[in-house]
Amino acid sequence: MTATPPDTSSSNTSPSNTAASSTADRGPLAPDVEGVLVVDKPLGVTSHDVVAKVRRIVGSKPGRRGKRKGPKVGHAGTLDPDASGVLVVCIGRATKLVPYLQASQKTYDARMRLGRTTDTLDNEGVETSRTDASHITEEMVCEALHAFVGDIEQIPPMVSAVKVDGERLYEKARRGEEVERKPRPVTIHDIVMADFDPGAQPSTSFLVTCTAGTYVRTLAADVGERLGVGAHLTGLRRLGSGRFSIEDATSLETLQAMAEDGTFGDAVMSMADAMADYPAVALDAEQAALVSNGRGIPATGHDGPVSILDPSGQLIAVMRDRGRLARPEVVFN
């Protein structure tokens, strides 16, 4: 449930639209804010709705020829409308960090129902089968869940945003099409079952920590298939994304209130702090000037991306070792 289509059917009555109409009329409430915002996305709104609300607050709006005026705003990892929790939103130059932030490990609180399958693998779809699963025990579910811990392969659901033949799968699904999808490798780091409610269609909740790109709805369906009764996801809340946890998150209502009273910037994390999951190298003023102009520096000795900080601790680049030199991937001038 990590890579899903944008909802194009949301109406002007969604919380993100109704709460901000007056903001759009007055202009931006926080026009000079830049950095990373951790939002506690509520149920019933899309990730795009959340981004749209933040855009109104910071004054980002469509301009001529498709270019936006004001700071860019984007999110690092989609959540479905029927999922809640941590949504990382990047503002201004921080949007360049999206590939690094969305690649982080995720933690979810998930709930599934056994003995029933749907065409979308969740509550929103049409029922495709129903089975008496009253013989399923807590121990059986626990064993089935643990069987998926480690490196596994998942087939992306038809409602995902994966492209096949140049088109998103969810676009094909809307036309009633189903196409062959190639399995994708993911890693389930840990699964802990939280509770079990027996019955003809038992339900269970579990905590799962996994790599980015894991489809929790597919995990639920695969567990049901392993048990021989089928299953679908009935609830999902993202508790963590990399270094960002639900404790760091701010609700949309609180963000609106902070924008109204001029404290919106207090909820925004600096780019350097947002990249704390990655190793960091601090440079002196002379080296920092070179990097700011796109020049390389001696190799850092780290694998993967490295945050490059100037003497004041500000993030000025993300670099990667290429042989004897570290080369910039992203530079913030």
How many other C-beta atoms are found inside a 10 Å radius of the C-beta of residue 198? 16
Q: Residue 120's closest CA among 147, 83, 164, 88?
A: 83
How far apart are the C-alpha atoms of 98 and 186, rounded to whole Å? Answer: 20
Contact 307, 36 (CB under 8 A): no
How many other C-beta atoms are found inside a 10 Å radius of the C-beta of residue 123? 16
How far apart are the C-alpha atoms of 157 and 167, rounded to whole Å? Answer: 14
Q: Residue 141's closest CA among 119, 112, 118?
A: 112
**CB-based contacts of 176: which residues, under 8 Å, 6+ apart?**
none
SS3 track for 54-101: HHHHHCCEECHHHCEECCCEEECCCCCCCEEEEEEEEEHHHHHHHHHH
How far apart are the C-alpha atoms of 233 and 124, rounded to whole Å? Answer: 9
| Active-site residue, 284 included | no
Q: Is 263 helix (H, G, I), strand (E, B) or coil?
A: coil
How many other C-beta atoms are found inside a 10 Å radius of the C-beta of residue 285? 9
Task: Measure the N-to-C terminal CA separation of the chain; round to a whole number of Å.
Answer: 36
| Side-chain-facing half-sphere of 57: CA atoms under 13 Å | 33
Please provide the DSSP assignment of 2-22 as one string: -S----TT--TTSHHHHTTHH
Alpha-carbon distances of 260 from 80, 225, 252, rounded to whole Å: 28, 50, 12
Catalytic residue among 40, 80, 222, 248: 80
Catalytic residues: 80
